[in-house]
Amino acid sequence: SLSQLLTNPRYSIHYYQREYKWQEEQISQLLSDLFSSFYSYYPSRGSSTVSVADFGYYFMGTVIVIQKSTGEQDQAIIDGQQRMTSFTLLILYLQNRLMDLGLNPRNDIEGLLRTNGRDNISFNDATRKEVIRAIRDRSPEIEGKSTSAIFMAARYRNIQRILDEELTQESIPVFFEWILGHVLFVK
């Protein structure tokens, strides 16, 4: 599950990986696919007393990693960095939205993206890190300087717009729980 994938090791995205270049079309398609699966199990858009335990799963694909060196816990993402970056942005949005609604304290979710003050996914360039930090710190200006950072900031704004339109206050925590436990990867 996404939660299991993010919980244990630290991942890094190396300099030789291509830039993050998902367009609005790709993030919209991902969210549309997730909503389609989620709403096939979610009984009504106004219900908040739902358990995701009986919901079905959504298979997201593979993430290929290698151990950086013997004895290290960090793993380098070889394939899947576009999806992992997109899900990082999605989790950050949902975390911020849940906090706005007073539904979930930050530290319940924080362990997915940070452990002991370190990011669980380490990006190879400082400007990507700045975008993640700006989103986490809820900076009003989320701007990027590298190609990847520019695309990350734009995709975060797309996620924000689409989810604000699609999810109700009642469905946000259910959707978040479903994403963490029922979106599956092969690692």
Residue-by-residue DSSP string for 104-162: S-HHHHHHHHEETTEESEEESSHHHHHHHHHHHTT-S----SSHHHHHHHHHHHHHHHH
Q: What rounded mean pLDDT belongs to the chain?
A: 83
Residues 125-152 have a mean pLDDT of 79
Alpha-carbon gap, residue 13 to 34, rounded angstroms: 25
Tell me the two tokens of residue 3. 């939660």
Identity of the highest mean pLDDT range in 136-140, 166-170, 179-183:
179-183
Structure tokens at 91: 């989790």
pTM for this structure?
A: 0.88
- What token pair was written down for 100? 């706005």
Name the pLDDT band for 3 (thresholds 50, 70, 90). confident
pLDDT at 95: 86
Digit-coded pLDDT (tens) for 90-119: 998 998 888 888 876 555 566 676 665 666
